[in-house]
A and B are shown apart, each in its own frame.
Chain A
Amino acid sequence: MMIGNLERRQLIAAALFTTVAAVLPAALGDFYLTVLSLVFLSAFVGIAWNLMMGFAGQLSLGHALYFGVGAYAVAILSERYGISPWLAMIPAAILPALLGLAIGALGFRFTVRGVYFALLTIAFAEFARIVFEHWSFVGKTGGLFLKALTPANQPLLSLRGGATFFYYALLLTMLAAWAVSALLIRSHVGYAWRAIREDEDASRALGVKVLRMKLLAVAISAAFTGIAGAWFALMNGSLFPDSVLGMQMSINLIIAPIVGGLGTLFGPIIGALIIVPINEVSRNLAQSFSINGLNLLVYGLLLMVVIKVAPQGCWPWIARHLRLSSAGWTRGPKA
């Protein structure tokens, strides 16, 4: 693989970021570490959703389905059947991938495109949420709770621990996803995705196996999102249909990558860095001043401002000024 000037700058930026991130826990308290863990989780999901939307061009507004299924898979397998969370990660990735393939196949087979496809994804997610709310196997609306952690807990075995553990776990997960994403984009798969996003019919004429590539995007995106859901369950210790399968979660999953910049490699991370802290801070403000709803107002207004000022996302704007991306508004993965 050729490493051009641009890519060298990007790699340096990434290396810097990783180094800083690796040593931060020495300086920060648990609260900030948890917020950063959520940032990494959000970035991880953002990278996953970005693959499907930013590169392959398929808008999914029901990603909570994959998130929730992954969360429930890990929770049920580890709590109820005593299976190691490491192993449970596999079904947490595969089940959502299969669901994604099914929905994608249905959608593509019946040529459901654009906003209609997005609504189809919402329909499936909501359908699942309601089913889960009435299904005793998953605890209905009462949800599921993971056992409380004891002093004898081994984080590396149970994949649960304190703020520092989750910080590193999610940092590594995010970096791994980022690396996979970068590799995919530079591979023939990435070219196919970008071509499909630009012009599906022209791509077909060039031999691109459009259906297969779209389904691949959906499956990978769903699998990553499932793993994110699994981590969410492990971090939170509890999950409810409304919280992990609901529309609110679907929305939360995708705000960061859109605000950060779709179709870029750094966008989801920058987006998460902006959105998550603002969300957390405004929620804290609202709670400490007992002004219910303030956080929503702030968050909502902020979204409107950001999307008005930088509809392409914050990263393209920043990157141009730091010269970390090529000039002009190409929608390609110039990071």
Chain B
Amino acid sequence: MTSLSVRGLTKRFAGLVAVNDVSFDVAQGSITALIGPNGAGKTTCFSMIAGALTPSAGNVAFEGRPIAGLPPEELCRLGMARTFQIMRPLAGMTVAENVIVGGLARTTSVSVARRKALDILDRIGLGARADQPAASLTLPDRKMLELAKALATEPKLLLLDEVMAALRPADTDRIVVVLRQLNRDGMTILLIEHVMRVVMALAEKVIVLNYGQKIAEGAPSQVVADPQVIESYLGRRAKTA
């Protein structure tokens, strides 16, 4: 079963084609990574899938249902959750309250959402900080909070935008463990990542973008050896080095 199906996705900004005719599938229950050098169009792709940007052309289907152009709150209801690269905690609220907001996507009862929130926070290791202001968290904890918020909406597909950025290896490993567990429990994950360690460790399939176009797709070991991919990251000379 395909969780996410992207066909011919294109985004044009005045004078610039940020994403050009990108197509791929994400199988249900899989972990797929979207990689590419800076400026390749990964976040733009993501934003279009997640409903924050309208595509200039192309279709996106979630579990068979076309979703291009639907607003984010609708996609959330359908079972797609995303985290943001530039983290957006709800600063004036506590950690638990942040997650409760996500939980309220599935219930109108605050107490039910609260129980769920505390449960999620415990599972990912933020339980002790539940009543602290979200703004007071350290960077790694903020990333976990982003994840927790998304999880509270009970998604079937999780879109993670560079969740490992700027983390120390110990913290990266922590998140990898959590993600693996989630995936084992049935969650489909699509992540944008720069940290290759994580991509190799987690992803079953890797899609590579460069200058807005897909240049490779396949298992991690395959893709990493692909000359075009190497060139896109390291430049033409690297091929002959």
A residues at B contact (CB < 8 Å): 1-2, 186-188, 191-192, 194-195, 197-199, 201-210, 328, 330-332
Contacts and interface: CB of A to CB of B under 8 A. Distances in A.
A33 B47 CA distance: 59
Interface in B8-60: 50, 52
A10 to B, nearest CB: 17
Nearest to A332: B92
Nearest to B154: A207
B101 A205 contact: no
B137 to A, nearest CB: 14
Given A199-B91, A205-B72, A206-B152, 10 more contacts: A188-B109, A188-B113, A191-B100, A191-B104, A201-B72, A203-B90, A204-B73, A206-B150, A207-B76, A207-B106
Contacts of A1: 111
Nearest to B76: A207
B100 to A, nearest CB: 6
Contacts of B91: 198-199
B93 A203 contact: no
A331 B88 contact: no
B120 interface: no
12 contacts: A186-B110, A188-B109, A191-B97, A191-B110, A191-B113, A194-B97, A204-B73, A205-B82, A206-B150, A210-B73, A330-B92, A332-B92
A200 B97 CA distance: 16
A188 B110 contact: yes
Contact of B97 (A197, A203, A332): A332
Interface string B145-169: 0000110110000000000000000
Contact of B71 (A191, A195, A204): A204
A187 B77 contact: no
A205 B76 contact: yes
Nearest to B87: A202
Given A194-B93, A206-B105, A330-B133, A201 B110 contact: no
Given A192-B104, A198-B93, A199-B88, A206 B153 contact: yes
A206 B52 contact: no
Contact of A208 (B73, B81, B108, B110): B73
